[in-house]
Amino acid sequence: MRGKRIAVFSLLAFAAAAQEQDKRLVELNGGLTAQLLTLGRDTSGRPTITAAVKIANTGKDYVFLMVYGSLSAIDEGGVKFEPPGDAVSGIAWCETAPAERCIGIPSGSNAFPIQQYTEIDPGKAVTAHLRLVAPGGSKSVGRVSIVAQIGYRVVKEVDIQNDGVLSDTQRIKQVRTGSISFEPIQATER
């Protein structure tokens, strides 16, 4: 009987670990996937969340990507984490306000430079590092969910050679928006 309990407990633990792993990988538009590699929380001063997110291009086309606008995290206690000035590295990031200006709304002349988007070739990946802080005096607890808004262009393999001929205005008009969002996951405490 004891052996059966251990086997049942082991199966439940394995199922819980698999479910937690499923929350760490999300499919995005444009042939992209995002995988949460690490999620840490430092509560020694102002609560800070750090994350490493692998963004992979699983499609056949070229993707040009940037993070902009809403980048935040929230924990189970309701504490909201927001980006400081150096919140994103490893990938293009536009922190202009209002966020719509990053993608050329209302005018493409004010948009984030299209040449500075991060290119992700077919079969390749990049890792973005995120750092978000909570307001002073907050106490962070429990699982954390993360959301990042993205702007991206998808260029077909057959069109990549002619992409450089397009004007910046033409390329900005090709930018689409989306988001990366991870369900609540337990952060590693530091």
Enumerate domains of the chain plus CATH numbers: 26-189 (2.60.40)
Joined tokens for residue 148:
């990042």
Q: What pLDDT digit, counting tens, does each position of 37-71 carry?
A: 999 999 888 899 999 999 999 999 999 999 998 88
pLDDT for 18 equals: 44
- Rounded to whole angstroms, how far apart are CA atoms 25 and 35? 4
pLDDT for 10 equals: 45
Q: Residue 12: in which H helix or E strand, if any?
A: helix 2-23
Q: Residue 3: in which H helix or E strand, if any?
A: helix 2-23
Q: Does residue 112 register a pLDDT over 80? A: yes
Q: Is the dihedral of CA 101, 107, 113, 118 positive or negative?
A: positive
% the chain with pLDDT above 70: 88
pLDDT for 62 equals: 96
Q: What pLDDT digit, counting tens, does each position of 81-103 carry?
A: 998 877 899 999 998 878 889 99
